């Protein structure tokens, strides 16, 4: 029977653990026998040591060489991650304050594009010396540009001269060249090369207002019936009232004429004027004439010599305009349309013949446009002329419905046609009595036998009218 010590030794060998065994592929050079005292020491140390694995769990669980290889791979992977982390830490990081400062700083704005205004009209050029005549006055202005060079540039001088005086009545020095000068017996308008307009009193040469900034070179400066019309090269139009004892006042300021520019070719203002109500009229080189209505804030086309409708209107009605104003009085519509005539005879290159069915329609359309233009301009004489011309054409063509409507508009409401909407009807138009105009139209219509029934009907209503019609306001 084996001894106690041998039995204990064999029992310990059976319970030997793998974690203290040398890997099987490693053979020790010399094997030292383990005594019973060493085994008992190992057992006691194991029982007193806390249950903490010195090796990784993978090595402990798998055991042997495989666990060691796995541990080495994990260590290499960990080193690579730490290296990447260290490299990223080398990148400079902004502090919290620096981040806030960076966010608060706005990016530099891009430089705005400089848009140069498109020149629609040519500028006026300055002359070394010139003379400007004043409207309804024997006095005149002598302009001397660049008479003396100062420390900061050339100096120009304007002199107010009366033919009855040996010396100028007054003088004024300007720091820029004078490109144009117009005036009345009380006010002088001076346009200078520094894009300004100066209004000067004729009495003593004082500025009536500070220099007015136009924003661009002057292209047109004209005086018309006590009104001053200014147009810049960028197409900005202004109208000033110079008449009266008070200071000049602007009736229209910086109105754009760019909508009037032709689709092809250059824009040129052949002539311009101002109506009695202070509204501008322009005649362009394209053959068109325009009128600006302050009431409607719009440009009205009041003449187009290249319009096929006007060219194909009956020449007898187109040429009747020449009989207007035999005394030589200037009429706004006739004058501006004549100024817009671009050299091509009206009626040339006719598209339809005078006997075509379109000729009467074109003639009626032309007469209607002339009538509406006269009304918009407030031209009394021209309105009456074109109204009677239209009525004469309706009578000759036998257009009874259109003629009846025209007569009823002039007749106004009667006791049979009264309505509350008729209360807006007025007895006059442009200072002309509507019933007087109706009498003249009925005389024209009497020449056409086919219109006798209409003439009798309208005349009976005219003679039997009840005025004042305010008595019928309370009618149910």
425-457: per-residue pLDDT in tens? 899 999 999 999 999 999 999 999 999 999 999
pLDDT at 133 over 70: yes
User: Computed over its alpha carbons, how large is the radius of gyration of the chain?
Assistant: 52
Please report, rounded to a whole number, the percentage of residues in the chain having pLDDT higher than 90.
Answer: 54
Structure tokens given for 354: 């005078």
Interatomic CA distance for residues 94 and 85, integer angstroms: 17
Query: 48-62, 122-136, 229-243: which range is least confident on average?
Result: 48-62
Q: Which tens digit of pLDDT belongs to each residue from 246-285? A: 889 999 999 999 999 988 878 999 999 999 999 999 999 9
**Conformational region of residue 233, where left means phi above 0, alpha means psi within -120 to 50, and beta covers everything else:** alpha
**Conformational region of residue 215, where left means phi above 0, alpha means psi within -120 to 50, and beta covers everything else:** left
Q: Identify the sign of the CA torsion 352, 354, 356, 361.
A: positive
pLDDT at 58 over 70: no
Q: Are strands 288-293 and 227-232 parallel, antiparallel or unpaired?
A: unpaired
Interatomic CA distance for residues 284 and 299, integer angstroms: 13
pLDDT value of position 149: 80
pLDDT at 145 over 90: yes
Closest to 203 in 3D by CA, of 191, 181, 190, 187: 187
How many CB atoms are closer than 10 A to CB 311? 22
Interatomic CA distance for residues 83 and 87, integer angstroms: 6
Query: 16-25, 36-45, 104-113, 385-394: which range is least confident on average?
Result: 36-45
What is the b/e burial string over 224-244, where b = at least 16 CB atoms within 10 angstroms of the residue's CB? bebbbbbbbbbbbbbbbbbee
| Helix count and strand count (H, E) for the chain | 13, 18
pLDDT value of position 75: 82
pLDDT band at 117 (very low <50, low <70, confident <90, very high): low
What is the b/e burial string over 357-387, where b = at least 16 CB atoms within 10 angstroms of the residue's CB? eebbebbbebbebbbebbbbbebebbbbbbb
**Residue 474 has what DSSP assignment?**
T
Higher pLDDT pick, 53 / 118: 118
Dihedral (C-alpha) 287, 288, 289, 291: value to the nearest 10 degrees? -160
Closest to 133 in 3D by CA, of 177, 181, 196, 94: 181
- In 221-355, which residue ranges form alpha helices assigned H by DSSP? 308-311, 315-318, 332-340
pLDDT value of position 236: 97
pLDDT band at 10 (very low <50, low <70, confident <90, very high): very low
Interatomic CA distance for residues 128 and 297, integer angstroms: 40
Closest to 160 in 3D by CA, of 134, 128, 135, 198: 134
pLDDT value of position 82: 76
pLDDT value of position 31: 46
pLDDT value of position 252: 96
pLDDT value of position 334: 93
Query: 77-81, 216-220, 330-334: which range is least confident on average?
Result: 77-81
- In 15-56, which residue ranges form alpha helices assigned H by DSSP? 36-48
Q: Which tens digit of pLDDT belongs to each residue from 72-116? A: 777 888 877 777 766 665 555 555 555 555 555 555 666 666 556
Query: 87-91, 382-386, 461-465: which range is least confident on average?
Result: 87-91
Interatomic CA distance for residues 406 and 197, integer angstroms: 48
pLDDT band at 476 (very low <50, low <70, confident <90, very high): very low
Residues β-bridged to residue 191: 180, 197
Closest to 325 in 3D by CA, of 392, 270, 380: 380
- Residue ranges with strand state E in 175-286: 178-183, 187-192, 196-201, 212-213, 218-224, 227-232, 236-241, 249-256, 269-274, 280-284
Contact 321, 355 (CB under 8 A): no
| 290: enclosing H helix or E strand | strand 288-293
Summarize the confidence of residues 184-208 as an average pLDDT. 95
Summarize the confidence of residues 324-346 as an average pLDDT. 76
Interatomic CA distance for residues 368 and 381, integer angstroms: 16
| Phi, psi angle pair for 288, to nearest 5° | -105, 150
Closest to 444 in 3D by CA, of 397, 405, 396, 386: 396
Closest to 262 in 3D by CA, of 281, 290, 237: 290
Q: Identify the sign of the CA torsion 47, 52, 56, 57.
A: positive
pLDDT value of position 245: 75
Contact 272, 335 (CB under 8 A): no
pLDDT value of position 46: 46
**Reduced to 3 states, what is the DSSP secondary structure of residue 239?**
strand
| Phi, psi angle pair for 432, to nearest 5° | -100, 135
CA 408 to chain centre: 43
Residues β-bridged to residue 149: 154
| 174: enclosing H helix or E strand | strand 170-174
pLDDT band at 382 (very low <50, low <70, confident <90, very high): very high
pLDDT band at 243 (very low <50, low <70, confident <90, very high): confident
């Amino acid at each position: 029977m084996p001894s106690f010590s041998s039995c204990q030794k064999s029992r310990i060998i059976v319970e030997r653990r793998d974690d203290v065994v040398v890997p099987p592929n490693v053979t020790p050079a010399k094997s030292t026998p383990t005594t019973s005292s060493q085994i008992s020491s190992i057992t006691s140390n194991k029982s007193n040591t806390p249950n903490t694995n010195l090796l990784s769990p993978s090595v402990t669980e798998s055991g042997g060489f495989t666990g060691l290889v796995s541990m080495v791979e994990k260590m290499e992977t960990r080193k690579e991650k730490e290296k990447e982390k260290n490299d990223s830490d080398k990148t400079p990081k902004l502090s919290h304050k620096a981040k806030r400062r960076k966010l608060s700083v706005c990016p530099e704005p891009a430089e705005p594009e400089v848009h140069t205004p498109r020149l629609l009209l040519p500028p006026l050029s300055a002359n070394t010396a010139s003379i400007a005549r004043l409207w309804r006055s024997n006095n005149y202005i002598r302009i001397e540009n660049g008479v003396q060079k100062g420390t900061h540039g050339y100096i120009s001088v304007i002199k107010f001269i009366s033919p009855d005086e040996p010396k100028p009545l007054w003088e004024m020095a300007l720091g820029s060249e004078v490109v144009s000068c117009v005036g009345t017996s009380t006010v002088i308008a001076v346009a200078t090369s520094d894009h300004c307009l100066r209004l000067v009193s004729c009495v003593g040469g004082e500025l009536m207002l500070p220099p007015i900034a136009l924003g661009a070179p002057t292209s047109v400066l004209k005086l018309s019936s006590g009104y001053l019309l200014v147009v810049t090269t960028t197409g900005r139009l202004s109208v000033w009232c110079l008449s009266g004892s008070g200071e000049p006042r602007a009736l229209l300021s910086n109105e754009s004429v760019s909508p009037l520019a032709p689709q092809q070719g250059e824009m040129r203002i052949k002539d311009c004027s101002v109506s009695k109500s202070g509204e501008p009229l322009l005649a362009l080189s394209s053959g068109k004439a325009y009128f600006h209505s302050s009431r409607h804030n719009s440009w009205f086309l009041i003449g187009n010599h290249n319009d096929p409708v006007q060219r194909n209107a009956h020449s007898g009605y187109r040429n009747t305009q020449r009989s207007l104003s035999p005394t030589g009085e200037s009429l706004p519509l006739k004058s501006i349309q004549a100024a817009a005539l671009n050299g091509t005879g009206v009626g040339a290159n006719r598209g339809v013949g005078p006997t075509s069915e379109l000729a009467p329609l074109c003639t009626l359309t032309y007469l209607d446009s002339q009538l509406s233009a006269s009304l918009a301009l407030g031209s009394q004489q021209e309105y009456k002329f074109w109204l009677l011309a239209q009525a004469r054409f309706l009578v000759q063509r036998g257009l009874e419905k259109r003629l009846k409507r025209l007569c009823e508009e002039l007749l106004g409401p009667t006791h049979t046609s009264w309505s509350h909407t008729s209360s807006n009807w007025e007895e006059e138009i442009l200072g002309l009595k509507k019933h007087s105009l109706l009498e003249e139209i009925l005389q024209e219509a009497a020449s056409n036998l086919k219109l006798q029934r209409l003439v009798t009907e309208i005349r009976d209503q005219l003679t039997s009218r009840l005025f004042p019609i305010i008595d019928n306001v309370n009618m149910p």
